[in-house]
Structure 1
Amino acid sequence: MGKYQKNEEIFAQGEIAGAVFYIQKGKVKVTVLSEHGKEAIVGILTQGQFFGEACLNGAKLRTASTHAMEECLLTSITKVTMIATLDAEPKFSAFFVAYLLSRNSRIEDDLIDQLFNSSERRLARLLLLLADFGKEGGAKPVPVILSQEALAEMIGTTRSRVSFFMNKFRKEGFISYNGKIEVHSSLLDAVLRDKPQIKEEE
């Protein structure tokens, strides 16, 4: 088990992949660097999630970089140990499979989101996910600490559009913004009820 400070690198794209990580506490940012040097955020991982598990499927090198977004407590499990544990511990194996199925569903939801929803709805959904709304256990939503540029990258739009929508959400009372983004339950209500404030148009 290891501690990582805010912005500390956990592993880098291109490094040898030899371990799986489990997040005990904190948030982890996953980024990919293109051949032309452009970096893009491809995921934000939170407590209770695994990452780096591609090594179990034969990946030799890391295909992305990961950094702690805040102070993190992570458990590192070597590939050999992980495979042995999955083989010997049925409960852990079931837990890991459940996680993979959940992640697969999230990826499918993300794809549908990109294909069919407006950038405004994609932003609303992303803010709700980052604030932990709907997480099992009913935990109190946590503040979102991401720049508008990062949010724009993650939903595939421009920073100016994100700025416009953020101001709109604030005026509607869906969020508060003072350095950290506080997401209110009214945003979830608007998305679920398909209220006119969250439109299906650009």
Structure 2
Amino acid sequence: MGENFPIILKLQKASRTFTEAGEKIYVKKNEVIISPGEIINGFYYIQKGRVLCVDYSPRGNEKIEFILETGSIFLESNVLFDRPASVYFKAITDTQLVYITREKLLDMITNNLDVSLFIMESLTKKFYSSVAQLREVLFYDVECRVCNLFLAMAEKFGIEEEKAIKLDLKISQQFISNILGINRNTCIRMINKLKKLNYINQIHGYYYIVDFEGLKQYHAQKIVQL
């Protein structure tokens, strides 16, 4: 499926500049940080935790746009282009943020090359991730997309155990369908198929990649068959 730019974003660690320049804010799990329509006067650096970028269709269907990890930033494009928020951002773990104002951001971009490069990296990865999601919807079937998501999560959240790779993130079938923007029943059918093929398993709410190489090869074969 070409170069992989997943919706799970974890950029290289920023220097201490962000932490020293901003105000530390603690948010609890499931707390909404930003809602659509809010005027944005600063952006956030995730010092520790995870944040979801979520949108809703006119019918109220949830679509998860990004999973932002420790070391990521968000709302930087809104600050730079003076745009109000268009989506929700909410914490999915207890999260430590650093809030940095527009004035401080512009000053850092002007005087700190590392910050400028970091901002460009963040914007570029989000752009390519959005393009990759669009290409998946246009050119690949649901089974390929489900396989690709599990492979991406194994790389980002995977903890190697004796006979499997554990995804260090509790996710539901609804969560997966919201990430991919697919019907929940279709999602369940695809997950059950991968379980029967012994590529994945689920124990106590955690998914395990039982056969990573097998899943990778199966995914590649499905792409060839398209």
Query: How does the TM-score come out when normalised to structure 1?
Result: 0.82
> Which deviations, in whole Å up to 9, do the C-alpha atoms of 1:112-170 show, x marking residues without a partner?
11111111111222233344x168xx976642323322322322321111111111222
Give me the whole-angstrom Cα distance separating, in 2, the residues matched to 1:81 and 1:179: 44
Gaps of 5+ in 1: none
Q: Does 1:150 align with 2:179?
A: no
Change (3 A) 1:108 1:40: closer
Counterpart of 2:129, as a letter, is R
Give me the whole-angstrom Cα distance separating, in 1, the residues matched to 2:138 and 2:128: 15
The correspondence for 2:69, drawn from 46, 52, 55, is: 46
Gaps of 5+ in 2: 1-23, 161-165
Deviation of 1:88 (Å): 0.7
Find the residue that maps to 1:75 and give its secondary structure.
strand
Change (3 A) 1:51 1:71: same
What are the equivalent positions in structure 2 for 1:21-170 lying under 5 Å apart?
21-35=44-58, 37-131=60-154, 133=155, 142-170=167-195
Change (3 A) 1:22 1:81: same
Q: Is the 8 A contact 1:22 1:48 kept in 2?
A: yes
Give me the whole-angstrom Cα distance separating, in 2, the residues matched to 1:197 and 1:147: 24
Q: Is the 8 A contact 2:38 2:84 kept in 1?
A: yes
Counterpart of 1:86, as a letter, is I
> Which deviations, in whole Å up to 9, do the C-alpha atoms of 1:62-108 show, x marking residues without a partner?
11111101111222111111111111101121122123222222222
Q: Percent identity?
A: 24
Counterpart of 1:73, as a letter, is Q
Give me the whole-angstrom Cα distance separating, in 2, the residues matched to 1:188 and 1:5: 37
Alignment correspondent of 1:184: 209
Deviation of 1:193 (Å): 6.2
Q: Is the 8 A contact 1:4 1:71 kept in 2?
A: yes
* Further displaced range: 60-69 or 182-191: 182-191
Give me the whole-angstrom Cα distance separating, in 2, the residues matched to 1:164 and 1:76: 42
Alignment correspondent of 2:41: 18
Counterpart of 2:125, as a letter, is S
Counterpart of 1:143, as a letter, is D
Length, aligned pairs only: 198
Q: Does 1:171 align with 2:196?
A: yes
Query: How does the TM-score come out when normalised to structure 2?
Result: 0.74
Q: Is the 8 A contact 1:143 1:183 kept in 2?
A: no
Deviation of 1:173 (Å): 2.9
